[in-house]
Amino acid sequence: MQFHPLLVAGAVVLASLPAAAAEHVLAQKGKAFSVKKLQVKVGDTVKFVNEDPFAHNVFSLSDAKSFDLGSFGQGGSKTVTLDKPGTVEVECAVHPDMRMVIEVGK
Ligand SMILES: [Cu+2]
């Protein structure tokens, strides 16, 4: 039995597609992040949501992901895409005690 070349090519493309990226929601509430540690995969996004009645400025200087979301107030949200594997240490420029870690796996 012979396989049609186009069918074989299609199967290869389907098999190599990455899994759908997930969105993780991470709240800032009571001058703290809702979780201290988050496990994600490369390509996933993390949505930072401010539930405090004052502003936060979430940032990271990590090699795996360096970003600065700027100051955003209550109800505001910013989304970050984790595009490299590694450890991302997340901090808040307004509240030095606010810290959490995102582990980005392959
Ligand atoms: Cu803060």
Q: What is the mean pLDDT of each run of 10 residues along the chain (106 residues)?
A: 61 62 97 98 98 98 98 97 98 98 97
36 CA from centroid of ligand 1 (Å): 14
The correct answer on CATH 2.60.40.420 for the domain covering 21-105 is yes
Residue ranges of domains in the chain: 21-105
70 CA from centroid of ligand 1 (Å): 11
What pLDDT is attached to residue 100? 98
Number of C-alpha atoms within 13 angstroms, CB side, residue 19?
Answer: 7
The alpha carbon of 46 is separated from its chain's Cα centroid by a whole number of angstroms, namely 3
1 CA from centroid of ligand 1 (Å): 65
49 CA from centroid of ligand 1 (Å): 11
7 CA from centroid of ligand 1 (Å): 53
CA distance 37 to 65: 15
**Sequence-distant (≥ 6) Cβ neighbours of residue 77 within 8 angstroms:** 47, 48, 49, 50
Question: Do 38 and 24 contact (CB within 8 A), yes or no?
Answer: yes
